[in-house]
Chains A and B, each alone.
Chain A
């Protein structure tokens, strides 16, 4: 397969920039890059989940449109995702044959499917029964089933998206064995992973993506981890990371050896006027940690000290009453009421202040919304326009902007700039700056290293649920920090 100037834009966001890449028969080709570098966009173009904006894809020398998932599966292009997309309530055999069942006289031929599925599993060397329910298997085993399913479909081109993220060592070893076997059969494998050691163990070539562009393709035997990390990090520091000097004041929040679901022994401190960055790979425990501080999950041990006093935060309402605000990671799922007006979304946290008793003061309501739309520069036709009509960046400005009037003391922003373009990013950073100037503290959870690197006064690195390193403002190189997060 050859990609020529493959390009994808989402509105103003340029997700993939004229990528030229070729995949050879029977090679294992790794694709690495930071979160948001364009890896998932690339996969989704190849599996035809998205359509490309421009560029060509050649499959065995012929240009193919890749207009529908059906077409790409027909060509033999399959993807095995990090989260298994199979039916947990069906048997292993039923899942392997899903959408392509073996029939006899118009009815399902259960016996034959179970037998064939079992034979397939045995051939692949998996010690798994074909007639059990998929949900009774571990995630790793399900991943193997998903791979077996792709194999049976006659996959010629198989994409693995972070397949080992949830696997144990043994499960990963079984998967590697299968991947090598597929390679021997002439299947082209695209392997996406954050774990560089896997790239060196398994792959033939590696391509590095950064900010949507292909930076380099190397033979694995001719490169090393340090070079790859250097390639992954964007060295061009844009004007977008504007940071005013703010006087650091009193301590607002302190955690002392806080443990909870997904993280252990985390001690941090946030002061007035300070941005505390929490960096790590997805699943490193950062989100879980801030959610415990926000009262979503009870911490199991350790202390939370709020403005000098020991507190136990049991609910989100309690956290909000203390003066903590959280802007969630997923704006569509957790941040916005999409079917409702922009004004209502902005005012939601402060309606108490816009009411006389229970009744809303419509004048104040409108004025508050208009002021915020103006201050945060949300591009909308009016405050009554539905939140769903805004662009992603403007939606994010609503999610963040609604807290500015709230008067909270500590703001937690979980991935505040995911999926927004550079211009909006700069505006969001400016908003953070105005919160700091007002004497608030900010915890910024981010998987995008340049952002926390440039903005955070204190940067904590998380790995596998633990705080593994702490840095002052830019006192270590990005390479060092990424290395700490990946743990090579």
Chain B
């Protein structure tokens, strides 16, 4: 909780500084843009956190998002009856995500592979499979009611400068993902088991926890969130391409870690990665507005990870 407030404070300080430094930052337009930009990493980071809490990791979330963007585009641009309706395409794409998650858990639980290796392998293969299917081509989505969702918004309020601020649909999607994720993590016994496994798998097993099933849950949640992001990505850019979302897995992991998730497992929240991802987005957004060389964004992100995790290490060392 303390870390959450500190991070929220950090986010507001950054916003305040950027509002003072630039005219364009604190505008209804830019802020709703920032929410849009941050939403996808936020959803990835929430899913990723489930895998990390068990003491594992999911390196494939970016690749899943790219792969699913291709799947949904393929379905929508062909005439396959139900599968080519928006509803059908979304359901099947989410199903693809669940399947990939099950495959990860199969590798980790049944084959005993380290999660790092298992998801590294699918990270490579999924992009390859996608390129094989599309032959390297990009699929343009012509369905306007599908792509329109990413530009749409719902509810709004007057901004400080009198203009109207609209909450983008993409951000609502973050809420739609975060609430069930929060309930699952903090108010269900499966959430308790996730932490127990991350802390001491052996103790959890000897206490009657079905470690295998809970591990399956973690990787399915992670891949499912990545599939949601894949669909949102296809909506936002209007194309399906398996090479999209390159490097997003690292942004998701960074957001999660900045948000207080321990890579050793057993420590993590839903709000942490959420705030963490918007901190990263603010760095990117602010750096653009400040006309900073974009390469600096990566450097700042790297430094921030070191600083935040260092302070967290100090905090846990005292225990």
Q: Which residues of A contact B203 (CB under 8 A)?
A: 328, 334-337, 345, 348
Evaluate contact between A335 and B206: CB separation under 8 angstroms.
Answer: yes
Knowing A352-B189, A354-B189 touch, does A339 contact B267 (C-beta < 8 A)? yes
- A368 nearest CB across to chain B (Å): 13
Interface membership of B208, Cβ < 8 A? yes
A358 touching B319 in the complex, CB below 8 Å, given contacts A338-B200, A339-B267: no
Please, which residues of chain A bring their CB within 8 A of the CB of B193? 351
Q: Does A334 lie within 8 Å of B206, measured CB to CB?
A: yes
Cβ of A340: which chain B residues have Cβ within 8 Å of it? 195-196, 199, 266
B206 touches A359 (CB 8 A): no
- Do A358 and B208 touch (CB < 8 A)? no
Classify the secondary structure of A's interface with B: helix
Size category of the A interface is 20 to 34
How far, in angstroms, from A351 to B195 measured CA to CA in the complex?
13
Closest Cβ neighbor of A340 among chain B residues? B199
Whether A344 contacts B206 in the complex (CB less than 8 A), given A338-B199, A388-B319, comes out as no
Would you give the shortest CB distance from A385 to chain B, in whole angstroms?
10
Contact count A vs B, C-beta below 8 Å: 72
CB distance from A346 to the nearest CB of B (A): 10
Q: Which residues of B contact A (CB under 8 A)?
A: 183, 187-193, 195-196, 199-200, 202-210, 266-267, 319
A349 within 8 A of B: yes
Is A132 part of the contact surface with B, judged by Cβ < 8 Å? no
Enumerate A352-378 residues with CB–CB distance to B below 8 Å. Answer: 352, 354-355, 358-360, 362
Q: Could you give 11 example pairs across A and B, Cβ below 8 Å? A: A326-B206, A333-B200, A334-B203, A337-B196, A344-B192, A344-B196, A345-B203, A349-B208, A360-B188, A360-B192, A389-B319
Given contacts A320-B208, A344-B196, contact A360 B189 (CB under 8 A): yes
Interfacial chain B residues near A379, Cβ < 8 Å: none
Asked if A344 contacts B202 (CB within 8 A), the reply is no
Inter-chain contact B206/A351, CB cutoff 8 Å: no
User: Nearest Cβ in chain A — how far from B172, in angstroms?
Assistant: 24
CA distance A348 to B214 in the complex (A): 14
Closest chain-B Cβ to A399's Cβ sits at a distance in Å of 8
Q: Taking each of B199, B205, B208, B210, which has the highest tally of chain A beta carbons within 10 Å of its own beta carbon?
A: B208
Inter-subunit contact A316/B195 (CB<8 Å): no
Tell yes or no: A17 within 8 A of B by CB: no
B188 in contact with A348 (CB, 8 Å): no
Those 8 A-B pairs whose CB atoms lie nearest each other, nearest first: A337-B199, A351-B189, A348-B207, A358-B188, A334-B202, A349-B207, A339-B266, A337-B200
The residue in chain B whose Cβ has the minimal distance to the Cβ of A408 is B208
Shortest distance from the beta carbon of B26 to any chain A beta carbon, whole Å: 39
- A474 contacts the other chain (Cβ, under 8 Å)? no
Q: CA A402 – CA B204 in complex, angstroms?
A: 12
Pairwise interchain contact A317-B208, C-beta atoms closer than 8 A: yes
Instruction: Name the distance in Å between B216's Cβ and chain A's nearest Cβ.
Output: 15
Whether A359 pairs with B202 at a CB distance below 8 angstroms is no
Residues from chain A with Cβ under 8 Å of B209 in the complex: 348
CB atoms of A348 and B187 under 8 A apart: no
Please give 5 more A-B residue pairs, beta carbons under 8 A apart, in addition to A317-B208, A333-B200: A316-B206, A328-B202, A340-B195, A340-B266, A348-B196
- Given A326-B206, A328-B206: A360 in contact with B266 (beta carbons within 8 A): no
Q: Say yes or no for A386: interface residue by CB 8 A criterion.
A: yes
Chain B's nearest CB lies how many Å from the CB of A443?
Answer: 15
The reply to whether A317 and B210 form a contact with Cβ atoms under 8 Å apart is yes
Q: Compute how far the CA of A317 lies from the CA of B206 in the bound complex, rounded to whole angstroms.
A: 8
Chain B residues closer than 8 Å to A359, beta-carbon distance: 183, 187-188
> Are B206 and A337 in contact (CB-based, < 8 A)?
no
Minimal Cβ-Cβ distance residue in A for B190: A358
Given the interface contacts A337-B200, A359-B187, does A316 sit within 8 Å of B205 by beta carbon? yes
Q: How far is the CB of B52 from chain A (nearest CB, A)?
A: 14
- B78 to A: closest C-beta gap in Å: 38
Minimum CB–CB distance for A59 against chain B, Å: 35
Chain A residue with the shortest CB-CB distance to B210:
A317
Set of chain A residues within 8 Å of B199, measured between Cβ atoms:
337-340
A337-B195, A340-B266 known; A402+B189 contact, CB < 8 A = no
B200 touches A402 (CB 8 A): no
Distance between Cα atoms of A359 and B204 in the complex (Å): 19
Q: Which of A334, A340, A348 has the most CB of B within 10 A?
A: A348
Q: Once the chains bind, are A344 and B195 in contact (CB under 8 Å)? A: yes
Closest A residue to B184 using CB positions: A358
> What residues of chain B lie closer than 8 Å to A317, measured between beta carbons?
208, 210
Specify which of B187, B191, B203, B209 lies most central, judged by the most chain A CB atoms within 10 Å of its CB: B203
Give per-residue flags for A23-43: 1 if the beta carbon is below 8 A from chain B beta carbons, else 0.
000000000000000000000
